[in-house]
């Protein structure tokens, strides 16, 4: 498993380009007797699932394998050290995510073989998580149908199952068209598309006071015109709208859209827009959350070597001291001198742990009872998308966290197969939480 995750680390592929990474997983899963299912849609060319077993329960394990542009880093290095100048890198540790799901799938296969029980395990090859739309697209083409429950893993700097978190979001692009003219000679004949972009942004900026305080609205101007002496005929902006719940994201998105429409009216320009994508927040499932928490305690993490402990210390110490202090507080870590979170967060601490990024695993949680787990693959204070998280993800420090996660997910899958009443309870909870509020694809 270490060498598989290292292989992936050594040929990082960004979202939408995961040809080698997806091929590798298909190959090794096929060798292990899994049946590979591919999708005919061009958008899903690097997505697949691999299945072993028969009948139900059917458990899905979500693997990811995309890297990030420009974050190349030598695995296990104590300093910022790119392998190639502008190369991508596994700074979000998706090499560990893919491999943990694979390891877990093999363990469940072994269990099914040994016991002769009825049940199916599926490894999902999920591309482009970093674009937040791989699983959204897979959901659009019904890739997750048939699963009774699903699990996923993400490397982190702490050990806990996720109860809720990740912000729902919408991704939109706005384009305004006006009339160009000479900005000095004949400004009266021009209608500035850039004015529209600026007025729309002003509208959104004053609106911030009147949306829920946990909402996040961010934009960039992707086209602001060609030169100051030409009234801009074309101008564009790109927005993300995020909030803890999808319903809030949809409501705020409508209001952001109204700001754009108002700006078009004010400036005598025309508006067109694209809904590029979006995703859901995690729908909690208390039954699976508790099952995950129990498995964190039942499984053991391999002990770290002195070398690994030292790498953790050096990576943590490269961060501002305040960041470490804050993390120690959040994680309830008292011991100065320890740079890896070893205990599992309590149920209460795990439930209230703030996660304010977005992820397309949220969509899967609205399609089946779902549990996401985080393990300490990165040292204290280290956040995703940094050279430190990349370095740890390409070392045995990260790989030990990955294997711990694989054991936990396999343990949970076996629990569901051994004790059907737990699965029934998880499904009942899922049904009651989604009743009257079913999944609607953010892609429309």
Site for Zn ion in 343-362 (CB under 5 A): none
Strand (E) positions, 105-262? Answer: 119-126, 149-156, 160-162, 168-177, 216-223, 234-243
Residue 231 or 372: the one with the smaller Cβ distance to Zn ion is: 372
CB of residue 216 to Zn ion, shortest distance in Å? 18
Under the binding rule (CB under 5 A), the answer on residue 92 touching Zn ion is yes
Stretch that binds Zn ion, among 84-92, 104-112, 294-302, 418-426 (CB under 5 A): 84-92
Stretch that binds Zn ion, among 76-84, 85-93, 109-117, 140-148 (CB under 5 A): 85-93
* Cis bond upstream, residue 387 (ω within 30): no
Residue 124 CB-half CA count within 13 A:
27
Site for Zn ion in 56-75 (CB under 5 A): none
Q: What angle do CA 277, 279, 281 make, to 5 degrees?
A: 165
CB of residue 98 to Zn ion, shortest distance in Å? 11
Q: Which of 433, 328, 398 is nearest to 92 (CA)?
A: 398
3-state class (DSSP) for residue 230: strand
* Count of CB atoms situated within 10 Å of the CB of 66: 28
Residue 134 or 178: the one with the smaller Cβ distance to Zn ion is: 134
CB of residue 155 to Zn ion, shortest distance in Å? 8
Under the binding rule (CB under 5 A), the answer on residue 405 touching Zn ion is no
Say what angle helices 396-418 and 420-434 make with each other, to 10 degrees.
Answer: 100
x-or-dash pattern for Zn ion, window 287-326, by CB under 5 A? ----------------------------------------
Under the binding rule (CB under 5 A), the answer on residue 132 touching Zn ion is no
Residue 197 or 390: the one with the smaller Cβ distance to Zn ion is: 390
Stretch that binds Zn ion, among 40-48, 49-57, 91-99, 426-434 (CB under 5 A): 91-99
Q: Residue 300 to residues 159, 175, 307, 396: CA-CA distances in angstroms?
A: 12, 53, 20, 16
CB of residue 120 to Zn ion, shortest distance in Å? 27
For the four alpha carbons of 299, 104, 423 and 137, in that order, the dihedral sign comes to positive
x-or-dash pattern for Zn ion, window 363-402, by CB under 5 A? ----------------------------------------
Q: Whose CB is nearest to Zn ion?
A: 92
Stretch that binds Zn ion, among 11-19, 92-100, 180-188, 223-231 (CB under 5 A): 92-100
Size of the site for Zn ion (CB under 5 A): 1
Residue 119 or 401: the one with the smaller Cβ distance to Zn ion is: 401
CB-CB contact of 269 with 177 (8 Å): yes
Say what angle helices 94-115 and 2-10 make with each other, to 10 degrees.
Answer: 150
CA distance 125 to 134: 10
CB of residue 408 to Zn ion, shortest distance in Å? 18
- State residue 216 phi and psi, 5-degree precision: -130, 130
Residue 6 or 358: the one with the smaller Cβ distance to Zn ion is: 358
CB of residue 130 to Zn ion, shortest distance in Å? 7
3-state class (DSSP) for residue 133: coil
Residue 192 or 358: the one with the smaller Cβ distance to Zn ion is: 358
Cβ neighbours of residue 216 under 8 Å, at least 6 residues apart?
167, 240, 241, 242, 243, 356
CB of residue 70 to Zn ion, shortest distance in Å? 16
Contact residues toward Zn ion (CB under 5 A) are 92
């Amino acid at each position: 498993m270490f060498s598989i995750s290292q292989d992936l680390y050594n040929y990082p592929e960004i979202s939408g380009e995961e040809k080698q990474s997806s091929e590798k997983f298909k190959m090794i899963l096929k060798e292990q007797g899994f049946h590979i299912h591919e999708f005919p849609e061009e958008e899903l060319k690097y997505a697949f699932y691999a299945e072993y077993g028969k009948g139900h329960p059917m458990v899905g394990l979500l693997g990811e394998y995309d890297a990030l542009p420009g974050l190349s880093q030598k695995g296990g290095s104590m300093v910022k050290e790119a392998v190639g100048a502008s190369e991508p890198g596994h700074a979000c540790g998706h090499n560990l995510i893919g491999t943990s799901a694979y390891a877990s799938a093999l363990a469940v296969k072994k269990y099914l073989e040994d016991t002769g029980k009825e049940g199916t395990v599926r490894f999902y090859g999920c591309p482009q998580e970093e674009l937040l739309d791989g699983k959204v697209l897979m959901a659009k083409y019904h890739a997750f149908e048939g699963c009774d429950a699903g699990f996923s893993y993400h490397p982190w700097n702490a050990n806990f199952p996720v109860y809720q978190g990740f912000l729902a979001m919408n991704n939109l692009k706005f384009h305004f068209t006006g009339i160009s003219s000479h900005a000095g000679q004949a400004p009266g004949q021009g209608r500035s598309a850039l004015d529209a972009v600026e007025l729309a942004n002003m509208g959104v900026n004053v609106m911030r006071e009147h949306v829920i305080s946990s909402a996040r609205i961010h934009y960039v101007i992707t086209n602001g015109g060609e030169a100051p002496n030409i009234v801009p005929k074309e101008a564009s902006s790109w927005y993300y709208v995020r909030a803890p719940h999808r319903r809030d994201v949809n409501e705020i998105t409508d209001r952001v859209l109204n700001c754009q429409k108002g700006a078009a009216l004010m400036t005598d320009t025309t508006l067109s827009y694209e809904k590029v994508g979006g995703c859901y927040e995690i729908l909690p499932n208390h039954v699976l959350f508790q099952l995950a928490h129990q498995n964190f305690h039942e499984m053991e993490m391999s002990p770290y070597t002195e070398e690994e402990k030292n790498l953790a210390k050096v990576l943590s110490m490269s961060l501002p001291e305040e960041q470490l202090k804050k993390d120690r507080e959040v994680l309830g870590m008292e011991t100065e001198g320890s740079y890896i979170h070893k205990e599992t967060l309590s149920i209460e601490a795990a439930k209230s742990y703030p996660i304010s990024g977005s992820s397309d695993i949220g969509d899967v949680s609205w399609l089946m009872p779902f549990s996401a787990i985080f393990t300490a693959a990165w040292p204290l204070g280290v956040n995703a998308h940094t050279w430190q998280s990349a370095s740890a993800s390409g070392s045995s420090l990260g790989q030990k966290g990955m294997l711990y996660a694989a054991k936990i997910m396999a343990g949970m899958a076996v629990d569901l197969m051994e004790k059907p009443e737990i699965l029934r309870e998880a499904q009942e909870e899922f049904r009651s939480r989604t009743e009257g509020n079913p999944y609607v694809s953010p892609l429309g």
